[in-house]
Amino acid sequence: MQRQVRLDGVSAGYPNRAVLKQLTLDIPALTTTAVVGPNGSGKSTLLGVIAGVIQVTAGEVEHRTEKRVALVTQRSRVADVLPLTVRDAVAMGRWGNRGPWRRLSRRDRDSVETSMSRLGISALAHRQLGELSGGQRQRALVAQGLAQEADLLLLDEPTTGLDATAQRLIADVLAELTGEGVTVVQATHDLEVARSAGHLLLLQDGRLRGEGDPRQVLTGDAIDEIWQLPPRR
């Protein structure tokens, strides 16, 4: 299987707090990799390291990508301080191509409209982002990630706060993206979502506890041990 990202002995974290500890792992290309683990296991930090927004303190990160990496977080801080419409927020995904002050080209505008359409939010284009429900807002942030047209898309809990219909929509869009040549990595608490991925990384306390086929890694015993569930009867 072709490799998209390689971490070799990577440690990373924040001032006075180590999070990731000597991670060595591979992320295969052209599939979805699910990153799972208890709260505090390092899922978001791992995405930040892969995206290059969190610096490593040891080890190396190797990318095999020609484009910028797209990172979709659960919340946009920019939206908290600027009066953005949904279209404005999605258009920010084109800034890496055009810069924040240059006018969007026709291709940029087409990408924005297509991304909104794929996430089912075209009718919300003129609404203020801050006025949306949590689920609508999350779909707008995912659309912003799509608009970047990256070949590596990282998502931190992309279906949090969404109803079942919206969750299915995002799952379908991500499956379409891998078929279009995009590598997807998503951190998730949803074990059913994780089991449907093509590859899985299981984290605990900043260390890799399992890697590979979700059906082989995410066993009942592994879940009981890592999430510290009581013994099954």
Q: Count CB atoms within 10 A of the CB of residue 110.
A: 11
The rounded Cα 92 to chain-centroid distance in angstroms is 17
Give residue-wise pLDDT tens across range 72-118: 987 655 555 578 899 999 999 998 777 666 788 999 999 999 999 99
Instruction: Determine the pLDDT at residue 100.
Output: 66
**Per-residue pLDDT for 59 more than 80?**
yes
Hey, what amino acid is at 141? Answer: L
Separation between Cα atoms, residue 74 and residue 84, nearest integer Å:
17
Check residues 65 and 27 and name the one with the higher pLDDT: 27
Give residue-wise pLDDT tens across range 155-198: 999 988 788 888 999 999 999 999 999 999 999 999 999 999 99
Residue 14 belongs to a domain with what CATH number?
3.40.50.300
> Residue 145 falls within a domain, yes or no?
no
N residues, the chain: 233
> Residue 222 falls within a domain, yes or no?
yes
- List C-alpha distances in Å: 161 to 135, 136, 155: 5, 9, 14
Which residues 6+ apart lie within 8 Å of 220 measured at CB? 232
> Residue 212 falls within a domain, yes or no?
yes
**Per-residue pLDDT for 50 more than 70?**
yes
- Domain assignment of residue 221, given as a range: 1-67+189-233
> Residue 162 falls within a domain, yes or no?
no
Instruction: Determine the pLDDT at residue 231.
Output: 59
Which residues 6+ apart lie within 8 Å of 73 measured at CB? 44, 141, 156
> Residue 168 falls within a domain, yes or no?
no
Provide the mean pLDDT of the chain: 90
> Residue 79 falls within a domain, yes or no?
no
| Angle in degrees, CA 164, 232, 230, rounded to 5 | 85
Separation between Cα atoms, residue 138 and residue 55, nearest integer Å:
26
> Residue 174 falls within a domain, yes or no?
no
Q: State the total domains in the chain.
A: 1
Instruction: Determine the pLDDT at residue 79.
Output: 55
Instruction: Determine the pLDDT at residue 197.
Output: 96
Instruction: Determine the pLDDT at residue 65.
Output: 76
> Residue 183 falls within a domain, yes or no?
no
Q: Count CB atoms within 10 A of the CB of residue 2.
A: 9
